[in-house]
Chains A and B, each alone.
Chain A
Amino acid sequence: MSSTDQNSPASDLSAPLNKPSDADTSADNESTTHFGYKTIEKDDKISMVAGVFHSVAKQYDVMNDLMSFGIHRLWKRFTIDASGVRPGNKVLDLAGGTGDLTAKFSQLVGREGKVVLADINSSMLNVGRDKLRDKGLVQNIEYVQANAEYLPFEENTFDIVTIAFGLRNVTDKDKALRSIYSVLKPGGRLLVLEFSKPENELLNKAYDFYSFNILPKMGELVAKDGASYQYLAESIRMHPDQETLKGMMENAGFEQTSFKNLTGGVVALHKGYKF
């Protein structure tokens, strides 16, 4: 299990939020995992995360725009730019949700290529499918409801796998990374776009204040679900920081791993190759 203790927001603002202590986080064992700041049985996480996303699916895009002030579109653009996607490529957009990356990949791989939009959550998948069909994107996209830990694809299938804002919700991240490694072709690459740890302490404090005081209220107001957005903020803090995730990717077999901080490290794009 990866350590998450480097991720502790050293902020007074987050003090009343009862983030588990280092001792608690390292107490992660075979049968338990985290759901936000709560320690739960691993078997319960899938259904609890599913509950969150069933609840927010319909307002997901609106909330993304509101929460990030639209910057999530630039982060995703950066991911597309860094992917090196070519016409004819096979791309797996894992935890693809409402299909922002899939839409662009579909246009870039063309008729010869294929994009698989996979998500464990049927509500998110339905919203994504409706959105992409409304955009007229039908010819080279497949939809698969799948758990990232047990990908239902043959080995060496994809040229590119992306997982944007999804890895932190996966119960066993190491298992998911190994599963992704297996379905990538040799020479293929994984791109993980995920919230991370801000580089600057001042930004970290401002980010904590925003995440724990403003975000849940916005969620309550727009999506009528403050608790899900409280989970979002907590799950971001419990997610491994940049170096830890890079190490996890290397442990799963990825080579030439690197990461690039975006918006001061609020988000990081990790990249690794299978050779």
Chain B
Amino acid sequence: MQPFNNQAVTKFSTQLISRLLLPQVATATLELIINKALALNNNKSLSFSAVAQKTLTLELAELPFTLCFTVNTTPNQTVVIVRSSTECSDCTINTSISTLNKLKANQSLTQLIKQDELDVIGDIKIAQQFANIAQSLEIDWQTELAKHLGDVPTHKLLQFGNKITKSLAATGKQVEADIGEYLVHEKRLVVTSSQLNAFNQKTKDVANKVNSLSARIDKLVANIANK
């Protein structure tokens, strides 16, 4: 019954997502963000010719639909079109969001493939070119924000943002240190669950023996009394 229920739940959730047109909402939002970012790019030497009319498909374990990115270049502009399905992809990457974060942290692509965390179908160069473009984007957020908010509020906002970032980084480091301390020193001293179970079992055994001994003594006392 369990697998059937899981299948039914998956089917129902997929149908619901499709009915609410969530894939289309997600792709429209992504497309808007990506193209806004491209419009703000200051790196004029960035070339899109290698990925023109190429499609990169991402199949993420966390998403019930795929994300397909196609680049269209004209002499005037470059745009990325995001779709939730395609019949023609130059490169398809099957992975999860956590693995994508590992990729950002420069963990080797081949290492992740070997660990079965990443599956690439098609031309891997396309994926690398897409990644290179994403990393080469230069956006001056301060100038862009200042256009909308004004110079002084932008400066204050970024100052506040830097403070928060530093504070979060310090908290992160502290948490990391505490976890390290726990793993290296404290964890050795802490009783493990198997040890606790063994202790409980031994305690129960002793209690049983005491009970049986007590019963035997009672019996002997009764025998003596009868004699």
Contact = CB atoms under 8 A, between A and B. Distances in A.
Interface of A: 71, 73-75, 77-78, 80-82, 84, 86-87, 104, 107-108, 110-112, 136-137, 139, 262-264
Nearest to A76: B24
Interface string B35-77: 0000000000000000011000000000000000010101011
Interface stretch (B78-86, B110-118, B140-148): B78-86
A199 B85 CA distance: 25
B74 A136 contact: yes
Nearest to A82: B85
B79 A262 contact: no
B81 A139 contact: no
Contacts of A77: 21, 24, 27-28, 83
A73 B19 CA distance: 15
A81 B21 contact: no
16 contacts: A74-B21, A77-B24, A77-B27, A77-B28, A81-B27, A81-B83, A81-B85, A84-B88, A86-B88, A87-B53, A104-B81, A107-B72, A108-B72, A110-B72, A136-B74, A262-B21
A77 to B, nearest CB: 4
Secondary structure of the B contact surface, majority rule: mixed
A258 to B, nearest CB: 14
A263 B84 contact: no
The DSSP consensus for interface residues of chain A is helix
A110 B52 contact: yes
A110 B53 contact: yes
Interface size, B (range):
20 to 34
A84 B81 contact: no
Interface string B8-48: 00000000000101011101100000000000000000000
A209 B217 CA distance: 89
Contacts of B86: 81, 84
A107 to B, nearest CB: 4
Most-contacted residue by chain B among A71, A78, A139, A264 (CB, 10 A): A78
Nearest to B65: A81
A111 B52 CA distance: 10
A78 B21 contact: yes
B81 A108 contact: yes
Contacts of A262: 21
A71 B74 CA distance: 29
Given A81-B84, A104-B81, A74 B74 contact: no
A73 B81 contact: no
Contacts of B53: 87, 110-112
B24 A81 contact: yes
A71 B24 CA distance: 10
Q: Find the residue from A82, A110, A263 having the highest chain B CB count within 10 A.
A: A110
B139 to A, nearest CB: 22
Nearest to A73: B28
Given A81-B84, A84-B86, A139 B21 contact: no
Contacts of B25: 74
Contacts of A264: 19
Contacts of B70: 107-108
A186 B187 CA distance: 69
